[in-house]
């Protein structure tokens, strides 16, 4: 049984044209998404608390979108 959600939680990232398995990331959308992180959620499997990327959103948006 596949437990993955069928729809995207982020409609801004749907319908992106991907060439050669590359996803174009808009830094403004990435900044918006980082600022929407809930700092009161528990740590996920990556063991990075959501408060960290939210507080560093301005500094990490450009490097993350370049990746």
DSSP 4-52: S-SS-S-GGGTT---BTTB----HHHHHHHHHT--TTSPP-TT---THH
Residue 1 clears pLDDT 50, i.e. is over it? no
Query: What is the span of the domain harbouring residue 29?
Result: 22-66
Q: Helix 57-66 crosses helix 27-35 at what angle (to 10 degrees)?
A: 140
Residue 15's pLDDT is what? 59
Total number of domains constituting the chain = 1
In a domain, 5, yes or no: no
26 lies in a domain? Answer: yes
Is the residue at 31 inside a domain? yes
Say whether pTM exceeds 0.75: no
Given this model, what pLDDT does residue 31 score? 95
**Is residue 6 assigned to a domain?**
no
26-62 per-position pLDDT tens digit = 999 999 999 999 999 999 899 999 999 999 999 999 9
């Amino acid at each position: 049984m596949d437990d993955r959600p069928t729809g995207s939680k982020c409609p801004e990232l749907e319908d992106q044209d991907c060439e050669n398995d590359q996803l174009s990331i808009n830094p403004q959308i990435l900044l918006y998404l980082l600022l929407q992180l809930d700092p009161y959620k528990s740590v996920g499997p990556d063991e990075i608390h959501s408060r960290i990327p939210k507080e560093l959103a301005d500094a990490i948006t450009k490097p993350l979108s370049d990746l």
